[in-house]
């Protein structure tokens, strides 16, 4: 414990011990023989007389608080007095007992129980006219706040409550004590003006109550003068030191700031020149890149247009060639090639017509390709198409393989699933859940696949083409016979399969 803390704690104990219980100011401490005599005749007493005797015995043993056995006896007598007071339903004596017990807990450094008992004493004594003991209970609350180093307000409130009660009873000694403690609280928070005022009031009431006595504070005036001189010297020394250090710090900071400002000015000037040159260069490069981008986009759009025209020309040449063919298989081969070329041509047409030259709007592409196949085979009224296409775009790397697979699957369904071209339905579905994984399903309600059909070892060019295109986009291709023929293609879009 620090010396100042030890002195403070000792003073609080002395402040409390200096005031005995109830009529403590008028009752002197028992002598040892009187105490033993009272203990022997204690069993013969009852009621209030026994309570007062028990409290006096507890008060006497309290003076020997440094001896654990004696302090325990003080607790025992106080607790016995409390039980008797509660049985008599006496608020005043129960309050006195709780006050005595709180003092004992203060001596044993049990601050939690100290405050608990003191507040119980306040609750009971406030119902009575015993304002001195009520004030002492508030002093105990103050002692807890001081010993546990609470805030200024928490320290001031209980001691001010005690002061008001002591003033109402005219107890000048305790008024002086309270003002002294209020002064110390102000001084500990460097509130010297209020501390001096409270200390002067403490001296006034001390002289008023002890004109021919010397008790606790016979040197208030000397203390006040000493504190004033010490505080004045400390303040002057602190002020001089603060001014000197402030000037030094101010000059050093001023030099540093001036140096930094000059350096920052030079650096900023140099940086601005460099940035200006870089900005001009960047602007020129951006202009060049924008022109190149516009030119590249125009050229790419023109390429798609010309590729589409060339593919249409190839389709026209194949149609002209088919006019001179007599072999039915050759004609069908030419027609199949025309359909495949048109599927690719349609993609290039959509690319140069759209703002984005790298992606295809799949719903419109599938719809237009379906319409083309209807017209090509002239089955618009015989076979019904049911489309269920999600709205999304696909890159060029996937659009052409998907278009060719779609063309082959629908062409095969039209040619082979419905021998009489009556009551045919082809369901076309292209779905996605997360714009990464896709499923293309083309299913008809036709005659289905032959019993000996092997989808992995088929001589059909169309089947082989669909397998190959599926492998190109790393897709999973399946063909099965379920109330017709069902072709399923599962694929996904990722960085690894975009090229």
**Per-residue pLDDT at 179 exceeds 70:** yes
296-317 residue pLDDT tens: 666 655 665 566 566 657 766 6
Q: What is the pLDDT of residue 356?
A: 67
427-454 residue pLDDT tens: 999 998 877 889 999 999 888 888 777 7
Q: Which CATH superfamily is domain 3-169 in?
A: Tetratricopeptide repeat domain (1.25.40.10)
Average pLDDT (32-61) is: 80
Domain extent listing, the chain = 3-169, 376-497
The secondary element (H helix, E strand) that includes residue 100 is: helix 91-107
For residues 118 and 101, the answer to whether their CB atoms sit within 8 Å is: no
**Per-residue pLDDT at 480 exceeds 90:** no
The Cα-based distances of 14 to 106, 156, 411 in angstroms read 11, 19, 112
More confident residue, 455 or 392: 392
Q: What is the pLDDT of residue 76?
A: 86
Q: How many CB atoms lie under 10 A from the CB of residue 465?
A: 17
Instruction: Tell me the pLDDT of the chain averaged across its residues.
Output: 78
d(CA 248, CA 255): 11
The long-range contacts involving 103-108, CB below 8 angstroms and separated by at least 24 positions, are 103/16, 103/17, 103/62, 103/140, 104/58, 104/62, 104/65, 104/71, 104/74, 104/75, 104/78, 106/12, 106/13, 106/16, 106/140, 106/143, 106/144, 106/147, 107/13, 107/62, 107/65, 107/71, 108/65, 108/71
The secondary element (H helix, E strand) that includes residue 498 is: none
Q: What fold is seen in the domain 376-497?
A: Heat Shock Protein 90 (3.30.565)
For residues 134 and 126, the answer to whether their CB atoms sit within 8 Å is: yes
Q: What is the pLDDT of residue 208?
A: 81
pTM of this structure:
0.43
For residues 431 and 448, the answer to whether their CB atoms sit within 8 Å is: no
Q: What is the pLDDT of residue 225?
A: 59
């Amino acid at each position: 414990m620090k010396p100042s803390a030890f002195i403070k704690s000792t003073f609080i104990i002395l402040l409390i011990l200096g005031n005995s219980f109830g009529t403590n100011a008028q009752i002197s401490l028992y002598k040892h023989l009187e105490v033993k005599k009272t203990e022997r005749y204690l069993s013969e007493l009852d009621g209030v007389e026994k309570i007062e005797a028990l409290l006096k015995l507890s008060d006497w043993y309290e003076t020997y608080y440094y001896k654990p056995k004696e302090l325990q006896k003080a607790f025992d007598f106080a607790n016995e007095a409390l039980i008797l007071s509660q049985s008599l339903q006496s608020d005043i004596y129960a309050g006195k007992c709780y006050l005595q017990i709180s003092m004992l807990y203060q001596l044993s450094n049990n601050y939690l129980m100290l405050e608990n008992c003191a507040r119980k004493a306040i609750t009971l004594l406030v119902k009575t006219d015993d304002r001195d003991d009520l004030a002492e209970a508030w002093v105990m609350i103050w002692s807890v706040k001081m010993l546990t180093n609470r805030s200024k307000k928490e320290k001031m409130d209980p001691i001010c409550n005690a002061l008001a009660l002591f003033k109402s009873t005219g107890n000048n000694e305790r008024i002086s004590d309270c003002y002294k403690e209020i002064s110390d609280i102000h001084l500990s928070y460097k509130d010297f003006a209020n501390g001096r005022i409270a200390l002067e009031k403490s001296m006034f009431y001390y002289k008023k109550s002890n004109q021919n006595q010397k008790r606790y504070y016979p040197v208030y005036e000397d203390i006040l003068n000493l504190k004033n001189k010490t505080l004045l010297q400390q303040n002057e020394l602190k002020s001089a030191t603060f001014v000197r250090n402030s000037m030094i710090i101010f000059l050093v900071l001023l030099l540093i700031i001036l140096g930094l400002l000059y350096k920052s000015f030079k650096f900023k000037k140099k940086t601005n020149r460099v940035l200006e040159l870089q900005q001009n260069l960047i602007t020129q490069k951006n202009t060049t890149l924008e022109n190149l981008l516009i030119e590249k986009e125009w050229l790419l759009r023109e390429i798609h247009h010309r590729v589409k025209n060339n593919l249409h020309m190839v389709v026209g040449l194949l149609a002209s060639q088919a006019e001179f063919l007599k072999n039915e298989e050759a004609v069908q081969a030419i027609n199949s090639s025309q359909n495949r070329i048109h599927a690719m041509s349609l993609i290039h047409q959509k690319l140069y017509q759209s703002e984005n030259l790298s992606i295809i709007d799949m719903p419109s592409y599938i719809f237009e390709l379906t319409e083309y196949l209807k017209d090509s085979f002239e089955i618009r009224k015989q076979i019904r198409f049911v489309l269920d296409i999600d709205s999304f775009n696909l890159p060029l790397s996937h659009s052409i393989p998907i278009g060719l697979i779609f063309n082959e699957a629908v062409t095969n369904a039209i040619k082979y699933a419905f021998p009489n071209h009556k009551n045919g339905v082809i369901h076309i579905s292209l779905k996605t859940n997360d714009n990464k994984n896709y499923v293309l399903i083309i299913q008809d309600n036709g005659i289905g696949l032959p019993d000996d059909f092997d989808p992995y070892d088929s001589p059909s060019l169309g089947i082989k083409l669909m397998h190959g295109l599926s492998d190109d986009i790393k897709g999973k291709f399946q063909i099965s016979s379920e109330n017709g023929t069902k072709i399923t293609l599962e694929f996904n879009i990722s960085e690894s399969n975009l090229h």
